[in-house]
Structure 1
């Protein structure tokens, strides 16, 4: 089962505050554990939404919206792509993760569609 693991943005990440050297070291060790377990497929951090753009679709029309975007807690500051046996394994790994932000933070886990999900469509 593939899952996308989202580190949710905070006010600090949206300000562009970089992680401390200590946190970078902790996250590096965690990523090494994920690699060693054969789970990690990809991972990266995202720059603040102020440096991003959104493209809104309405039929044939396209509108480009410059960041920053509202609802900081709904934005993504980073991600992992993992291959796990099930959602319980993904949750267990997230619980082992260092807190990715200096204060309160959240990590969201979402399964990816697999080709088998489309059988019979």
Structure 2
């Protein structure tokens, strides 16, 4: 379905015609597809049924070595909470070092750190 929607229907490259990531001699010509679906158009009670599924999943025993079961949106919610606690977005030291290098190279102000 990805090939159909993102390649064939969009008029972009698909299958064996997509260039390798390391090849820069040819244009990538990658297509995209976005779909908006109203779940209430399929069957009534979507939110309640989805909540039931989420609770069923989260009530299971986590896999060995894991502390909890996550569902779609959980990692993002945790990261948003972290950013709110910190008062900004946390970056790795190497990312900031590279940003500092670019600022020096192009003569612009370095990023402000909290």
| TM-score, length-scaled by structure 2 | 0.23
Tell me the TM-score normalised to structure 1 length.
0.22
Please state which structure has a larger fraction of its residues in strand. Answer: 1
Greater relative contact order (CA < 8 Å, ≥ 6 in sequence): 1
